[in-house]
Amino acid sequence: MEDSQETVGEVIDRIPIGRFHWLLIGTIGSLWAAMAMTVLGISFTLPIFIDVWNLSGFTAGLLGSASLVGMIVGNTFGGRYADEIGRKQTMLVSITLFSVFTAATALATGFYSAAGFRLLTGIGLGASLVAGASYLTEYLPTDSRGRFITFLEVFFSVGSLATVIVAWVVLSKLGGSGAFYGIAAWRVFFALGILPLGLVLVIYYYLPKSPFFLAESGDVEGATDGLATVAEFNDAGLESMPNSLSVSETPNVGFSRLFDSDLRRTTLLMSGLWLAVNLAYYGIFTWLPTTVESAGYVANLYRYLFVVAIFQLSGQLSAAYLIEVVGRKWTLGSFLLLGGASTYLFASAIPNGAGGGGNETLFKIGLYAMSFALFGAWAVLYAYTSEIFPTKVRSTGLGFTGSIGKVAATAGPIIFGTLAEFGYLVALAPVAFALVAVGVLLLLFGRETKGEILV
């Protein structure tokens, strides 16, 4: 054992990547994939609900946004809960919540019950996102942290692909006339949402509590023991552990800490980034199946969306490479600028919109580039936000800025569903502008976190 005192971050940096880290990324990544399926599932069932329950575009938009309203609550209070009670405990509670209420949506009898179930699902999703990202961040060494966190969004794309496949099988193939063994196919689709409960067992039995959280909470011995367990699991040896850990004595002041002079500009910039990316992602992709069908270019919707998901995945893999090469700031800023330009191109190429008669080639280029850029931006945004806030308010900062974003995310499907009646260019031009604006602000005023040890 070493006699010198070290911070948790310094000890983490001296534990080589090994079996524990692969178990960690596999577990949290599986959580991300499950959340993708939960979030995106409503996109494939909205057309069914519109038909079965006679919903207007505005009402359907409300239903599509119900889980996002819940995510505002989950992000905000889940982040605060994770900083006060712990990341692991928050994950256990929140995964249970969103799994149970996703499955319960299968019992919905109309708009109000479906919206209620989706609202409760969103609370669990929001808390899971914050706690999961913070937990993963705090177990990763500095030189590979950004890449590993970016891989979370790769798992999200895997979940997106799985959503397309499951929707294709359950809603299109097995559902046939709309029923599966006498049960409405969409009910079977939502009932499958109970499956992520299996992750609760893995997290409970195999993943220790965050050493950063334990040390900052005063349990230095618990943090040291946890780090030693990880080192041993990775065959790094107990000799790599210090006798004591240096911890911050900063009081846990909560939300007000985010607006202290040293963090205020960071909080505002990150809030703007989350707002623009959420507005774009949820405004566009909640309605994407309906939009693509209305364009009239596609013979097989599911096969086409599968190709879109491949471009989303390629954007995230590109981000995972670039984030450790050119840094978080320049990677994210570049993806945002590309996302804004391609969103405008996509919208202007849709037939019968305000942009003219349409162009199939430009439509596809815009859609694929937009999918590539927005999902790449998502990937970097989680890594950047998780690093830029200190441990005491890491989950709180991630939750608060994420909540600001979810306000835009909630409005996105409603705004798009309403404005699309006047043309897709009218609906998406503000989104394109927002992406470009925050991209420029980030490149001008953002701080690079590449190579920084967590504090």
What values do phi and psi take at 179, rounded to 5?
A: -135, 150
Cβ-based neighbour number of residue 241 at 10 Å: 22
pLDDT tens string, the chain, 455 residues long: the values are 445 578 888 889 888 899 999 999 999 999 999 999 998 888 889 888 999 999 987 888 789 889 988 999 999 999 989 989 999 999 999 999 999 999 999 999 999 999 999 999 999 999 999 999 999 999 999 988 998 998 888 898 788 888 888 988 888 777 655 777 788 999 999 999 999 999 999 999 999 999 989 988 888 888 888 888 888 888 876 555 666 676 555 555 678 889 988 899 999 999 999 999 988 987 887 778 777 777 777 777 777 778 888 898 899 899 999 999 999 999 999 999 999 999 999 988 887 644 456 788 898 899 999 999 999 998 899 889 989 998 888 889 999 998 998 888 778 777 887 787 777 888 888 899 999 999 999 999 999 999 888 87
CA 147 – CA 380 distance, rounded (Å):
9
CA 181 – CA 189 distance, rounded (Å):
13
Print the domain residue range for 297. Answer: 6-445
Residue owning tokens 């309403």: 418
* pLDDT value at residue 342: 96
CA 87 – CA 81 distance, rounded (Å):
8
* pLDDT value at residue 355: 44
Q: Per the domain annotation, does 451 fall within a domain?
A: no
CATH (domain of 205): 1.20.1250.20
Q: Per the domain annotation, does 454 fall within a domain?
A: no
Q: Per the domain annotation, does 455 fall within a domain?
A: no
pTM: 0.82
Q: How many domains does the chain have?
A: 1
Dihedral sign (CA 441, 136, 394, 37): positive
* pLDDT value at residue 270: 96
* pLDDT value at residue 358: 73
Cβ-based neighbour number of residue 69 at 10 Å: 20
Q: Per the domain annotation, does 348 fall within a domain?
A: yes
DSSP 285-342: HSSHHHHHHHHT--S-HHHHHHHHHHHHHHHHHHHHHHTTTT-HHHHHHHHHHHHHHH
Q: Per the domain annotation, does 452 fall within a domain?
A: no
Cβ-based neighbour number of residue 306 at 10 Å: 15
Q: Per the domain annotation, does 71 fall within a domain?
A: yes
Q: Per the domain annotation, does 75 fall within a domain?
A: yes
Residue whose C-alpha is closest to residue 394's, from 94, 32, 9: 9
Q: Per the domain annotation, does 450 fall within a domain?
A: no
* pLDDT value at residue 250: 57
Q: Which amino acid is at 83?
A: D
Residue whose C-alpha is closest to residue 234's, from 22, 71, 77: 22
